Amino acid sequence: MKRHSHQRDIILEEVRRGKTHPSAQEVFDRVRPRLPKISLGTVYRNLEQLAAHGVIRKLELPGQQRRFDGDTSEHYHIRCLACGQVDDIPGPLLVQIRQLPDTLNNYTILGHRLELIGICPRCRETAGPNPSNGQ
Amino acid sequence: MKRHSHQRDIILEEVRRGKTHPSAQEVFDRVRPRLPKISLGTVYRNLEQLAAHGVIRKLELPGQQRRFDGDTSEHYHIRCLACGQVDDIPGPLLVQIRQLPDTLNNYTILGHRLELIGICPRCRETAGPNPSNGQ
DNA sequence: ATCAATAATAGGATTTATTATTAATTGATA
DNA sequence: TATCAATTAATAATAAATCCTATTATTGAT
């Protein structure tokens, strides 16, 4: 990020809009109405750059495509097993994880990833995956 | 798994051999000397089937390809940020996670995924990723 | 032991998410 | 405003996983 770009500004605005956790393709779809000539590669590159600089967070979800989060505060996520929707879990990190030793199994510990798995209210009510939820 | 297959037996043997956490491709490579005509699709199908029946465990790792674990007891994993190697962390699940409520954020909670991120001893010593470690 | 039904396989094509390449454009700076 | 590296658009390439179809193997019934 050695200089500004209009594309990056718009991408950041769209990632920050709402509390969703969009994939690169979803960001692309949201940006396109404003920048019809933008390409998907530009979206990927800028999302990675913004995440590398801590402006947004990258969520690498097991078995799913990568998502991005405009909220950089420390928080966990819960993910719907049926539709893939990702929501925030407010509150502090687990105390037990905070208290882990510096080394374990001879590894130097740098961090952790935790996500809860569940069924979102919409999928529970409709008794099936709700495609409009995201996946 | 309505019928037995020789291929599945060999695949299971190879996943259980050692304490590694092989990817489908790695299982394929290990099985090939014994079954030269096996195809990658067969390996994927049988690994998924074995996991669905609880015979092995599927590890869906953020930002990495899927791996499989012949050890089905409850345990967490630690993963080397440099080389991708995955090791077991012995011991029980975190008490705090055990005590989570049934619902959170209006989701029905079904489970969780936790993995620790670190640097493995080999990568620490060689001051760089060790390609022979797996990734 | 043989046979018919059908589950499972081999081999290859396809899909999806992501990354790399390249020529043209743009933003920061002298 | 001329320069030059950073950034872009467009597209090709890659990697992991899935799908497709003709063939083979396993099973329960004879």
List all nucleotides in chain D with at least one atom under 7 A from a protein Cβ: 5-12, 15-20, 25-27
Rounded Cα distance between A82 and A129, Å, is 5
Q: What is the pLDDT of residue B134?
A: 38
Q: Are A27 and A43 in contact (CB under 8 A)?
A: yes
Tell me the residue length of chain A: 135
Rounded Cα distance between A114 and A95, Å, is 13
Closest CA to A118 of A87, A73, A74: A87
Rounded Cα distance between A90 and A19, Å, is 12
Q: What is the pLDDT of residue B89?
A: 86
The phi and psi torsions of A48 (rounded to 5 degrees) equal: -65, -40
Q: What is the pLDDT of residue A89?
A: 87
Which portions of chain A are predicted below pLDDT 50? 131-135
Tokens of A113: 């990833």
B128 pLDDT band, cuts 50/70/90, is low
Helical packing angle, A6-16 and A24-31, nearest 10°: 110
Q: How far is A53 from chain B (nearest CA, A)?
A: 18
Rounded Cα distance between B91 and B13, Å, is 25
Rounded Cα distance between B135 and B129, Å, is 9
Q: Do B116 and A107 touch (CB under 8 A)?
A: yes
Rounded Cα distance between A78 and B128, Å, is 34
Rounded Cα distance between B15 and B21, Å, is 8
Q: What is the pLDDT of residue A60?
A: 95
Tokens of B25: 């491709």
Rounded Cα distance between A78 and B104, Å, is 9
- The owner of tokens 């919409």 is A122
Residues 6+ positions from A73 with CB-CB distance below 8 Å:
none
Per-residue pLDDT of B86-116, as tens digits, reads 999 877 666 667 677 788 888 999 888 989 8
Rounded Cα distance between A60 and A114, Å, is 11
Q: What is the pLDDT of residue B21?
A: 96
Q: Tell me the domains of chain B and their CATH numbers.
A: 1-72 (1.10.10.10), 73-135 (3.30.1490.190)
- The owner of tokens 């956790």 is A21
Q: Do A114 and B110 touch (CB under 8 A)?
A: no
Strand D within 7 A of A53 CB? no
Q: How many CA atoms lie within 13 A of B77 on its CB side?
A: 24
